[in-house]
Chains A and B, each alone.
Chain A
Amino acid sequence: METGNEQGQKAGLTLAEVRRGLAGVKGKKYWRSIDELAGTPEFEQAVLKEFPDAAQEWVDPVSRRGFLKLMGASMAMAGLAGCTKQPDEPIYPYVKAPEDLILGKSMYFATAYPSAAGALPLLVKSDAFRPIKVDGNPDHSYNKGTSDAYAQGTLLDLYDPDRAKKTTYRGDNRQWTEFMETWRSKLIAAKSNGGDGLALLSATVTSPTLARQWKEAQAIYPKARLVQYDPVSRDAVRAVLGAKDVQYSLTDADVILSLDADFLSGSSFPGFHKLTREYSERRKLATGAKDATMNRLYTVESTTTTTGLKAEHRLALKPSEIPAFAAALAVALGVSGAAAPSYAWTDEQARYLKALAADLKAHAGKSVVIASEQQHPSVLSLALQINEALGNDGKTVFFTDAVNPMPTEQTAELKALVNDLWSGKVDWLVMLNANPVYDAPADLNFKEAMSRAKVTVHLGKHADETGSLTDWQIPASHYLESWSDARCYDGTVSVVQPLIDPLYESHTAHEVVQAMLDEPTKSAYDAVRETWQPVLSKSGDGKSADFEMNWRKVLHAGWVDGSAYEKAATATVAKVNAPTPVGKDAIEVQFRPDPTIYDGRFANVGWLQELPKPVTSLSWDNAALMSEGTMQRAGLAEEDIVEISVNGRAVKAPVLVVPGQPENTITAYLGYGREAAGRVGSGAGYNAGLVRTSDSMAVATGATLKKIDGRWGFAVTKSHYQDHRSKFAGGQGTGNNSLEADEALTRGIIREATLEEYKADPGFANEGETHPKVEKEITLFPNWDYSTGNAWGMSIDLNSCTGCNACIVSCYAENNIAVVGKQEVRIGRNMQWLRIDAYFEGDLHAPKAHFQPMACQHCENAPCEQVCPVGATVHTPEGLNTMVYNRCVGTRYCSNNCPYKVRRFNFLLFSDYETESLKLMRNPDVTVRSRGVMEKCSYCVQRIEEAKIAADKENRPVRDGEIVTACEQACPATAITFGNLNDKTSRVHALHLNERSYGVLADQNTRPRTRYLAAVTNPNPALMESPVEVAPTAG
């Protein structure tokens, strides 16, 4: 453990070091972390090791002596292990078997994950009526089977052992019926005065049924009120469009501009699945090099996101500069009535603006400007005006009714509610799935205000910060346990159908609101049916139809046919003027939903906590993300703790440098610093909400930074799995180019070209000195003939991958991967089978990046197999590199010899064998690995076998597309394709023959079965001559 601390104590980089690092570098170069860029001694040390520091050491407090004792015992027992008898296992058959159940065969049910950004239609896999895998509904036109990291993580959220289990009143266990009695008697008493003093505070209402119930309740209790609040609100949309939403279509967009809109990195942006699919579809280059066309993405943003790094041209601006930039762009494009605040743009910024305006103008009607919802409303307003001026409305931009049934400006409403609480106007405060004590703006002091209410009720999945303070705490049902409904991005209604009976004594918001109506105990199921009875009792042509029949159809398909909103080409856009930027020297703090745990609601989901965040590869924490220059000026180093004072409040946060972050801009992800999240989420990170006030929900300006004592240890995964081979293989070893970077460049780990280069030389990915086309036949071992039968292979399109992480979480769920905890991640023991390597390129301040999903490559000539002394990793006749867990004795030779660093070792017993609720979640087709066993990507061998058995029984070959790996299934960009290489009609066969297809480190003669499609970018020639560089201001 001491070594762990030492690692945390490494000296910070100086800007001079980084500059020195950059000085000798010409042309393209890649790097993966700041340390690597500067070539610090720590980095040099790290690359020499197979696993990071201390990974080999015993971190449990077990002495060497104790260890030897244990070892002695296990040595003695080793020979006898084979002779142990299995214990008697009981079988508990059904008493009456459910009619449709075939034990051992999974069933799939359509449902939807409701979220404020629009519901995600799902098809959930159920094994013996336990939901075990959440995936997108493949028949739904919105997401076409894809999903995202949050939705995948909701499965673990359902089985979270820390969920609230009992209704409590001031800490004592009570029954739901006792609450209902109290609630009803209050309601009866309040009827005479119209419900005065009744206030409901809910998370954004996503359910049309709940909205209907509330509307009916409102009729009975006109003075009662319902306030909605989510810390990540869509207030900007409400301010600009009122009760309308804007939708984008990227299919016909040749030029896309994102104004701080992070639409490629996760479903916190509405329409993420559709937008990512449409974006990547235009980058598949399916027509071949000659007629290749692509879209072009410009991103102007304040926090480095995957959207920015995928962009052909990215401009980093301070948050307060973005509205001004949007206004300047509007002026340049001749938007009538647009006025830009005068601002001294740098030459580079001005040049970017000019080129961008020209490009947008040239693609009028075939372009789109997408604006952030977490920015000043003027950004959205100006973006929509620009779209209108360009004639994009009705082509790439549409307007519909709001997805959420009760659109309101949430922050203002919450403020009003808190005022009423202070003035004692609220008797009963009922909070539905909200956690305002944690996430309400700091200036409202919600915790104090809440205590002014006579009775407080909290319906929530966890007894969280709010639930532990309220009088009543009622366990809320998870969406996989309860009936509800919701609308997805395009307005299509999905019925949220439960997959399992509530695990605990939990209830829904529908039941609480229903108690206000005439039939107080009507179930959520009946309420949802009642809502859709009028719609489903009519057929498409307006004639009456059988409701029951239609209802069953809806449950089967997952959505209500024809319920999508009408798309309008125009809407009334409120004109909001852009405020003047606060100046280049003022430090601004931008608050954003976290890419892995959103607003904190997934804080106790271990999969998402451990998931390395895109760009920073930080897991288990948030940080004060800032640029190198900002850090230097404040006299800070990475992992230092800084006190950020803003809005008259202060918060302590650890510092992390992010490439491409604009100067004097700090990004604070929300959702961390939870105190009552549960065993996983409590205590991770810091609470950025402590300095977030109701008038600075998106950006706070005028912050001051003060270094305070102490250091923080981050669990950053990107410096793991460095490879030292190139040191011996003639790596430059200057310390400028990291070894990894050398490989990315000289050994062609990342291969890319511009569209023009690609057209001129379609075979660029397999030509030239640095991109050798390796087809070696020599090997020490006899070549295996793979020409008959199945030959599994995978193709990953680097042009499509946006690094959104959906695949990794899907892999967690499918393959029973263990969560190891922050301390173990710090020493390099994280267990994800699939990682996304981000290779940065160019200037630290204006980097480009490439995202490369990296899992076992299933080499035909696998180096790992050759060194395993016990035959625990062997090749199958179909070309899979398999792990036989029972043979593995944990020598880790295989991992040592793996050039891709994709093997994961169970140093300790990481899998949870004890917690009851987690047992229900496991995929029964995959072994739960124990201590001392190596594991890695298996190409989802359980799915391969299932499909092979189905095909064998029908005497036919496996069809292309019949086997879908978990990562492929989740990918919103359809970047991953799996199939049979011997099937000449398969997609993967064609993709492997594609001229852009290359194998990573294929010069090692590993003959990987996973191949990558080289990236092609489509830069604007006007910005090509000298790339935009935002030079750091003097440090």
Chain B
Amino acid sequence: MAQIFDRSSNALARMSLVLTGILVIALGVTLNELQRSPWVTRQGQRPDQPVPFSHRHHVQGLGLQCQYCHTSVEKSSYAGIPPTKTCMNCHAQIWTNADLLAPVRHSWATGESIPWIKVHDLPDYVYFNHSVHVNKGIGCASCHGRVDLMPLMYAQNTLQMEWCLNCHRNPGKNLRPTSEIYNMAWKAPSEEKPVWCSVTDAKTGVPTAQSVSCVTDDPTRNGATVASLEMPTAPGAGTGQAGMGEAGGGGMVMPASMMYTKFTSQKALGDFLIDQYHIRPPNQLSSCETCHR
């Protein structure tokens, strides 16, 4: 009986083996890439919003501060989407007849909400909290990107778990002084642009922003600018602690004895802030219950 398979079939068989292997690997790689792709994560996508709201125009152009609209970002898990009233504060006076703003006026007239599409949409089993990030030195731009340069809103990052963990396992690389949270253009300190930070004596029982002060101008020169987050004083927290005084409002009264440390790298600043802001160790930050309940 003649051979059914020619000798050349051997080569074919070997090749098909290799090919199968390659196909399996290719499928794996494809799926892996696919689930990280913008098609799944919607990273960089700009959904059709009822009003083509431009953050660039409002933030960079007009200089609105983030919290003018996102009012609860320091207090709550949820940063807050502004009510129609916030839009109408200005748009009752300017651009009152613009076609683009018709949905806003419709909402104002009828009492129906403007149906925005969520751009930064975490899965429902993720319990993210804005307030603790903002109070612990993670700037808006670290997650949301340069919102001030976005004519239409999109997600700068994937918001996938691996992206969260990248930071939670090594938070130092993204920490910045809380005075710079809302600074869209903040750059990590460098030799050319160092950061000076000082610490008051009171480290516990007071809001973070009140115990660490950082400035980007050399404090040894005149006209140091000091900004800090406004935080309610903790109930029961000791008032009148050393160096604290009754400093209210946004600014701080600087004790003369305050010593500034100069930082010229993000690594050094990160380590300093981890210590000062009492950032939990990576094993706690990346523990499941931190985000999932």
A residues contacting B by CB (< 8 A) are 79-80, 82-86, 88-97, 102-105, 789, 874, 876-878, 880, 882, 884-886, 925-927, 938, 941-942, 944-945, 949, 952-957
Contacts and interface: CB of A to CB of B under 8 A. Distances in A.
Given A882-B288, A956-B205, 9 more contacts: A91-B81, A91-B117, A95-B84, A95-B85, A102-B76, A104-B78, A877-B283, A944-B289, A954-B206
B83 A86 contact: no
A952 B136 contact: yes
Given A95-B85, A953-B207, A89 B40 contact: no
A953 B131 CA distance: 8
B210 to A, nearest CB: 9
A927 B118 contact: no
A942 B207 contact: no
A925 B127 contact: yes
Interface string B275-289: 001101101100111
Contacts, number: 148
27 contacts: A83-B34, A83-B35, A85-B40, A88-B117, A90-B115, A92-B116, A93-B84, A95-B83, A95-B107, A95-B111, A95-B113, A102-B72, A102-B75, A103-B72, A104-B76, A876-B284, A876-B289, A882-B288, A884-B288, A886-B292, A925-B293, A941-B293, A944-B289, A945-B289, A952-B136, A954-B234, A956-B237
Contacts of B25: none
A90 B118 contact: yes
Contacts of A876: 284, 287-289
Contacts of B118: 88-91
A91 B117 CA distance: 6
Contacts of B111: 95
Contact of A96 (B40, B84, B127, B284): B84
A80 B112 CA distance: 38
Contact of A945 (B34, B208, B290): B290
A91 B289 contact: no
Contacts of B82: 93
B75 A105 contact: yes
Contacts of A927: 124-125, 292-293
B47 interface: yes
A926 B131 contact: no
Contact of B237 (A105, A882, A954): A954
Interface residues of B, number: 60
Contacts of A884: 288, 292
B45 to A, nearest CB: 10
A104 B290 contact: no
Interface of B: 31, 34-35, 39-40, 42, 47, 72, 75-78, 80-85, 107-108, 111-118, 121, 123-125, 127, 129, 131-132, 135-136, 203-208, 211, 231, 234, 237, 277-278, 280-281, 283-284, 287-290, 292-293
Nearest to A81: B35
Q: Which 3 A-B pairs have the closest CB atoms?
A: A104-B78, A104-B76, A92-B113
A956 B72 CA distance: 22
B31 A955 contact: no
Given A90-B118, A953-B207, A104 B113 contact: no
Contacts of B283: 877
A877 B287 contact: yes
Contacts of A941: 289, 293
Contacts of B31: 79-80, 83
Contacts of B203: 955
A952 B121 CA distance: 25
Contact of B77 (A96, A104, A877): A104
Contact of B85 (A79, A88, A96): A96
B72 A104 contact: yes
A955 B39 contact: no
A95 B278 CA distance: 39
Nearest to B280: A952
B289 A882 contact: yes
Given A885-B125, A886-B292, A93 B204 contact: no
A103 to B, nearest CB: 5
Contacts of B207: 953-955
Nearest to B113: A92
A975 to B, nearest CB: 25
A82 B35 contact: yes
Contact of B83 (A96, A102, A952): A96
Contacts of B108: 95
B117 A94 contact: no
A91 B121 CA distance: 10
A1004 to B, nearest CB: 24
A880 B113 contact: no
Contacts of A89: 117-118, 121
B131 A93 contact: no
B84 A94 contact: yes
Contacts of A83: 31, 34-35, 40
Contact of B129 (A85, A789, A949, A954): A949
A103 B231 CA distance: 18
Contacts of A84: 40
A955 B85 CA distance: 35
B286 to A, nearest CB: 10
Contacts of A85: 39-40, 42
A945 B288 CA distance: 11
A877 B289 CA distance: 10
B116 A91 contact: yes
Contacts of B237: 954, 956
A89 B47 CA distance: 11
A94 B80 CA distance: 10
Given A104-B77, A927-B125, A93 B114 contact: yes
A659 B278 CA distance: 57
A913 to B, nearest CB: 12
